Amino acid sequence: MTKLFSTFILLIMLSLTACSPSDKVGITQISALESAGLKANDMAVIIDVRTLAEWDKKHIPGAILIPISELKDRLSELEQYKDKQIIMHCAVGGRSNKAVELLQQTGFTDVLSMSGGIVAWEKEKLPLE
């Protein structure tokens, strides 16, 4: 029973770190409240890199869904937002950090990661659909 319990704990820890924020240098973090303010003033676009199943459960109104698995193939869709800040978000920040890195590597310069993702957005009681 102890081995089974240890395996269970290890699996939980791995699943949590797979989507947790990173300490990567060069990735600017932005809070959910700051993100909402920039979006409301049409200064930023919010890109949701979660899965369609996660999106269907709840999402930020006006956000654009581009799952991280499709992001590389859909970069051209983001060209129209180069004059705005692009805010990437996921559940808690891990995937959005990876998305920011990808965009930076392909020439996007004003890209941010929403710290805490949709969990932080919900915690601030910001609107969800």
Report whether pLDDT(12) > 70: no
The arithmetic mean of pLDDT across residues 62-77, rounded, is: 97
Report whether pLDDT(127) > 60: yes
Residue 8 pLDDT grade (very low, low, confident, very high; cuts 50, 70, 90) = very low
The answer to whether 114 touches 86, Cβ cutoff 8 Å, is no
- What is the C-alpha separation between 88 and 113, in angstroms, rounded? 5
Gap between the terminal Cα atoms of the chain = 42
Q: Is the dihedral of CA 12, 15, 21, 22 positive or negative?
A: positive
Q: Looking at residue 62, what is its pLDDT?
A: 97
Q: Is 3.40.250.10 the CATH classification of the domain at 21-123?
A: yes
Q: Looking at residue 87, what is its pLDDT?
A: 98
- What is the C-alpha separation between 96 and 22, in angstroms, rounded? 10
- What is the C-alpha separation between 125 and 65, in angstroms, rounded? 21
Q: Looking at residue 25, what is its pLDDT?
A: 58
Report whether pLDDT(18) > 80: no
Domain boundaries, the chain: 21-123
pLDDT digits (tens, 9 = 90+) for 90-106: 999 999 999 999 999 99
